[in-house]
């Protein structure tokens, strides 16, 4: 009995930790959608890029903390360039933007395949610490992931709510035209937000690298669940994304006891379909037409 | 060919008029298509087998492309979920031949029916959503079904796939087998021509006008009193069923289907075909198929990482050539036709 209980608790915490990582990815998507009304299909590949950069930093003799700073900075620069030169020409046409970022995702994946190789690699956990919790052995790194992500999330919250630039971003989310009329350079906000979203995904990637395998297609799996989360929570809603990401990850984590991963994914799909049928704008979303 | 444009043939003087002759024949594409088809059909027994097999592939992909064009070009909805219907069409045929032991037409009907049902379900869920949601939701559906098909090896055979013996086709008293490449070519070409004329008929009918209006301005259509969701759903289903048909034919041609038929690449390909040839022109996607299938064939044999090229092509096409080849021909020389007819 206690065996089952400890397994349950282990999976619960595991779901929570993975939920935090996915929250980072999904929040990036939501942020970009809220400001620019587009969906970045290459988001999962920015996540993958974070993990791959982390691998390269480690193989060149760096450590985890160096990669935690270099990867986001590099991905910030890359997504800045992507917004400026690939996405910007399609402003005002969401579908074309999405397809173009989908094309970009192919390019990023194949370039990674050329430079990094197609073999999944495992990055060692930075600490060998582990905890004894309710009879289950739990790695200290995973708890650190939860703490680091929570710090990043609260940092993002205070950036959006306590700084001038954050206020500009929130103003653009409310109404881009009015924001532009009040003198906010919305173009710069667009580029910055896109890069910020990419950075969040890359941070997720760096944190996830020691937990999962680093693989050039690792983004596909994450972007799928991130899309589902964002739809259930409501595209553009931060609160919804955060809550649903944690809930859904815990649900998926617990269900893996009974079912195979694909079947768990199908259950998440069912949740998404139900939400779309009952509340098309998501559980916490405003109405976007 | 001359007799078909007799009306304006008398007024031809300069070389630009020759171009407008070309354009008029293109606009009378029904005539053009039938001529090409009949020529090819007469020539078919003389052609070498690999050319035939290439042309069979082209006709199958063309069915997919023009079916997709109804959705992507005319009603301006971008679905990333069509690989699902492609795969389901193929597996519907394959599994009913394997397990239900149905004959050819029965299996074909099952494949089409399954893709119809799926298109109906996914359509009901997704057509009411906004543009961005529509793309994501269809993409999620095809992705999840793809990973399910990869995992459910007991049903689909995974990425190794399953192979079958295609049953003999009985048509009244005549029976023929698709194992003969010439017969297979005839079969696929006839289906393609049938699908083309059917879609042409749909596009030219009042229903097709509603589809075009849907692609141009949905809100105005709502104010005119149309139930836009019903028409969106209808377009989605029609295009889904034709995608299923093309999946079935592809399965018949390869006598094999694998979980890779559900892969995302099969959702990207029709977009590229439509963009190369020209959206909103049923002939354009076919031209796109001919060009791109050649290209894909050579580039994938030359370079392992040819998917980079896919990505680049999508970006370049959307950026610099959103109207496609037939679109350019219409834009460049279409106006002169109008001027000519006004002067006359």
Query: Per residue, what are the HEC states of B220-244?
Result: HHHHCCCCHHHHHHHHHHHHHHHHH
DSSP code of residue A61 = T
In a domain, A240, yes or no: yes
Please write the tens of the pLDDT for every residue from B98-119: 999 898 999 999 999 999 999 9
Determine the average pLDDT of the residues in A251-277.
89
Q: In this structure, is residue A154 part of a structural domain?
A: yes
Closest chain B C-alpha to A247 CA, distance in angstroms:
19
| DSSP 3-state of A159 | helix
Q: Which domain holds residue A218?
A: 2-125+137-278
**CATH C-level class of B3-343:** mainly alpha
Q: What are the distances in angstroms from CA A166 to CA A158, A175, A240?
A: 8, 14, 19
Neighboring chain A residues of B137 at a CB cutoff of 8 Å: 231, 272, 276
Query: Angle at which helices A164-174 and A2-36 pack, to 10 degrees?
Result: 80
- Contact status, residue B120 vs residue B113, Cβ threshold 8 Å: no
Q: Is residue A12 part of a domain?
A: yes
Q: Would you state the pLDDT for residue B4?
A: 44
Residues constituting chain B: 344
C-beta atoms of A276 and B130 within 8 A: no
Judge contact between A237 and A285, C-beta under 8 A. Answer: yes
Number of domains in chain A: 1
Residue A205's CATH number: 1.10.3470
CB B84 within 8 A of CB B118: yes
Q: Does A95 touch chain B (CB under 8 A)?
A: yes
Strands (E) in A90-187, as ranges, are: 130-133, 136-139
Task: Give the model's pLDDT for residue B21.
Answer: 59
Closest among A211, A252, A244, A207 to A227, alpha carbons compared: A244
Identify whether A283 is part of a domain: no
Mean pLDDT of the B32-37 span: 75
Angle between helical axes of A218-233 and A43-59 (0-180°, round to 10): 140
**pLDDT (tens digit per residue) in B289-337:** 999 998 888 888 888 888 898 899 999 999 888 888 888 888 877 655 5
Query: What are φ and ψ of residue B211, in 5° steps?
Result: -60, -45
- Is it the case that residue A184 has pLDDT exceeding 70? yes
Q: Are A98 and B141 a contacting pair at CB < 8 A?
A: no
CB hemisphere CA count around A242 (13 angstroms): 11
- A118: helix, strand or coil: coil
Task: Pick from A86, A102, A285 the residue to mutate for testing the B interface (most B CBs within 10 Å).
Answer: A102
Q: Is residue A288 part of a domain?
A: no
The 10s digit of each residue's pLDDT in B71-98 is 999 999 999 999 999 999 999 999 999 9
The model's pLDDT over A90-122, given as tens digits with 9 standing for 90+, comes to 988 888 999 999 999 999 999 999 999 889 998
Burial of B301 (0-12, 13-18, 19+ CB in 10 A): exposed
| Residue A287 in domain | no
Q: Kindly determine whether residue A280 and residue B144, on different chains, have CB atoms separated by under 8 Å.
A: no
Give the span between the Cα atoms of B242 and A280, in whole angstroms. 28
For B255, the token pair is: 């006598």
Quick one: which of A158, A41, A78 has its CA closest to A170? A158
> Nearest CB to B135: which of A90, A95, A107?
A95
Is A153 part of any domain?
yes
Domain ranges of chain B: 3-343
Give the separation between CA A45 and CA A33, rounded to whole angstroms.
17
Using CB atoms, which residue from B136, B152, B308 is nearest to A110? B308
A134 pLDDT tier (thresholds 50, 70, 90): low
Which residues are B46's β-sheet partners? none
**B80 contacts A102? CB cut-off 8 A:** yes
| pTM for the model | 0.88
Q: What is the pLDDT of residue B130?
A: 85
In a domain, A165, yes or no: yes
Tokens of A175: 């109404």
Q: CA angle B305-B309-B311, nearest 5°?
A: 110
Query: Which pLDDT tens digit goes with each residue over B157-213?
Result: 888 999 998 888 888 888 888 888 888 998 999 999 899 989 988 998 899 999 999
Q: Give B 210-249 residues with CB within 8 A of chain A.
A: none
B144–A95 C-beta distance less than 8 A: no
């Amino acid at each position: 009995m206690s065996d089952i209980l400890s397994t349950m608790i282990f999976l619960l915490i595991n779901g929570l930790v993975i939920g935090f990582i996915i929250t980072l990815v999904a929040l990036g998507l939501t942020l970009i959608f809220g400001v620019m009304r587009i969906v970045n299909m290459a988001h999962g590949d920015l996540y993958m890029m974070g993990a791959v950069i982390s691998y390269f930093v480690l193989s060149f003799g760096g450590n985890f903390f160096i990669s935690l700073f270099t990867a986001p900075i590099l991905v910030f620069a890359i997504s800045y360039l992507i917004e400026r030169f690939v996405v910007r020409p399609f402003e005002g046409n969401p579908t074309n933007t999405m397809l173009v970022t989908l094309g970009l995702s192919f390019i990023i994946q194949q370039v990674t395949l050329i430079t990094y190789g197609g073999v999944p690699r495992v990055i060692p956990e930075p600490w060998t610490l582990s905890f004894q919790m309710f009879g289950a052995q739990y790695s200290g790194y995973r708890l650190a992931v939860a703490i680091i992500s929570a710090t990043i999330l609260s940092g993002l919250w205070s950036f959006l709510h306590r700084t001038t630039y954050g206020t500009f971003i929130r103003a653009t989310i409310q109404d881009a035209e009015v924001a532009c009329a009040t003198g906010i350079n919305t173009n710069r906000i667009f580029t910055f937000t896109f890069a910020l979203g990419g950075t969040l995904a890359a941070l997720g990637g760096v944190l996830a690298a020691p937990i999962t395998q680093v693989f050039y297609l690792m983004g596909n799996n994450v972007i799928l669940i991130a899309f589902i989360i964002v739809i259930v929570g409501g595209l553009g809603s931060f609160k919804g994304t955060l809550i649903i990401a944690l809930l859904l990850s815990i649900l998926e984590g617990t269900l893996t006891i009974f079912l195979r991963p694909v079947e768990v994914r199908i259950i998440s799909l069912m949740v998404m379909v139900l939400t779309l049928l009952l509340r098309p704008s998501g559980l916490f979303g405003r109405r976007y037409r | 060919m001359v007799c078909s444009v007799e009306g304006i043939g008398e007024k031809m003087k300069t070389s630009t008029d020759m171009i407008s002759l070309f354009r008029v024949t293109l606009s009378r594409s029904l005539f053009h298509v039938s001529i090409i088809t009949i020529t090819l059909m007469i020539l078919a027994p003389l052609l070498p087998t690999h050319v035939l097999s290439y042309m069979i592939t082209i006709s199958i992909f063309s069915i997919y492309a023009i079916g997709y064009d109804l959705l992507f070009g005319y009603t301006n909805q971008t679905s990333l979920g069509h690989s699902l219907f492609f795969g389901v069409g193929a597996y519907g045929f394959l599994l009913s031949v394997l397990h239900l032991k149905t004959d050819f037409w029965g299996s074909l009907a099952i494949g089409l029916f399954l893709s119809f049902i799926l298109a109906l379900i996914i359509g009901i869920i997704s057509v009411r959503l906004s543009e961005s949601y529509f793309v994501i939701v269809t993409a999620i559906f095809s992705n999840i079904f793809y990973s399910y098909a990869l995992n459910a090896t007991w049903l689909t055979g995974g990425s190794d796939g399953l192979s079958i013996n295609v049953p003999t086709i009985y048509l009244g008293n005549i029976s023929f087998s698709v194992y003969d490449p010439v017969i297979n070519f005839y079969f696929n070409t006839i289906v393609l021509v049938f699908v083309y004329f059917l879609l042409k008929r749909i596009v030219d009918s009042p229903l097709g006008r509603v589809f075009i209006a849907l692609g141009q301005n949905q809100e105005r259509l709502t104010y005119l009193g149309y139930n836009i969701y019903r028409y969106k759903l209808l377009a989605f289903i029609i295009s889904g069923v034709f995608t299923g048909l093309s999946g079935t034919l592809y399965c018949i041609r390869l006598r094999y289907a694998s979980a890779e038929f559900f892969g995302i690449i099969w959702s990207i390909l029709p977009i590229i075909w439509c963009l190369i040839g020209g959206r909103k022109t049923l002939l354009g996607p076919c031209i796109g198929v001919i060009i791109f299938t050649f290209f894909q064939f050579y580039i994938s044999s030359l370079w392992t990482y040819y998917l980079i090229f896919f990505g680049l092509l999508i970006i370049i096409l959307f950026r610099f050539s959103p109207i496609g080849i037939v679109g350019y021909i219409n834009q460049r020389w279409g106006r002169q036709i109008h001027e000519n007819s006004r002067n006359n």
